[in-house]
Amino acid sequence: MVIVTGSAGFIGSCLVSKLNNKGIKDIVLVDDFSDGIKNRNIRNKSYLEKVDRKMFFDWLKQNHSDVEFIFHIGARTDTTEFNMAIFDELNLNYTKTMWNACSEYGIPLIYASSAATYGDGKLGYDDNHELIPRLQPLNPYGISKNEFDKWALKQDKQPPFWFGLKFFNVFGPNEYHKGRMASVVFHAFNQAEKGNGEIAKWRNSEIAKKNTDGHANGTVRLFRSHNPEYPDGGQLRDFIYVKDVIDVIWFLMNHKQNSGIYNLGTGKARTFVDLVNAVFSAINRPPSIEFIDTPADIRDRYQYFTEAKMKKLRSIGYSKPFYSLETAVEEYVQGYLVDSTYF
């Protein structure tokens, strides 16, 4: 059997679908299953059982001999949360316990790191292990991810093979529950659709409580640039479709060598204006964009450019092309958001 933590969340639930599509159904789902909206992500999926994340290590102690692989995707991902103790518990220490258990029981491990570890990008976006101790993340979330990466690289006792994946800006189906932490694509669609006189079909009373941003006139709001090197909306991100993410995870699961920490982006940064234009194109509306000031409390921690160096992943044999931004946005909007469907 295989384990997926964060299995009711965004990337985790998409991974469960990928495994199901590959014929793998002996899956144990691990998460906090108290959020009814999030639990919709695992409807109609095949799995053996659900285990609460607080009970997981007791469960693993009793069942480790049957476990073939662990995907540790679960984490606290709120970049606006500044209570470091929360991240120490849910990201750093929980993942250390996971690593030690996999090392002791001989279970391969893939875990989620983050591009937030790169901070303001002054040191670049190269996934060379020698760079990791020098990185200076801008928020507690990024710090927690980098602290674990640093810790993992110092360990003599390791899982039989392992991969830490620095996710860049991931978007795609199954993020209805994420509220303000959902992708810019999701929020842009939510705002743009209001110009059609109705909100998308997914907008029921429960979900609406988590997704209330935007104007009623169908205009998408983006942060104004406070850096003279970038025009408004010209801030750059490496946006990656979640289906590319799970394809890479599937590849690494079967690759079984070259353990280490890897970037997971497309390797091509695009502007927020590019992204929003793609959303409007997907709903056949002309773009309407308004720029607002970046909130003062996050302005000094705002990233103006991220772009994954992908040479390392390519060098170990991953050759599949990534979705273009326009193709991915069109599929996400037309195939999922318009009809409120799940992957």
Write out the catalytic residue numbers. 141, 178
Angle at 24 between CA 52 and CA 255, to 5 degrees: 100
3-class secondary structure, 233: coil
3-class secondary structure, 94: helix
C-alpha span between 56 and 77 (Å, rounded): 20
C-alpha span between 333 and 343 (Å, rounded): 13
Q: Are strands 169-171 and 162-167 parallel, antiparallel or unpaired?
A: unpaired
Which residues lie below 8 Å from residue 311, measured CB to CB, with a gap of 6+? Answer: none
Sign (positive/negative) of CA torsion 145, 151, 155, 157? negative
C-alpha span between 65 and 67 (Å, rounded): 6
Q: 21-25: which pairs have CB atoms within 8 A and are 24 or more residues apart?
A: 22/250
Sign (positive/negative) of CA torsion 247, 249, 253, 255? positive
* Count of all residues that appear for the chain in the document: 343
3-class secondary structure, 95: helix
- Which two tokens mark 325? 């931004």
Which residues lie below 8 Å from residue 52, measured CB to CB, with a gap of 6+? Answer: 30, 31, 32, 33
What angle, 0 to 180 degrees and rounded to 10, lies between the N-to-C axes of helices 56-63 and 94-105? 0
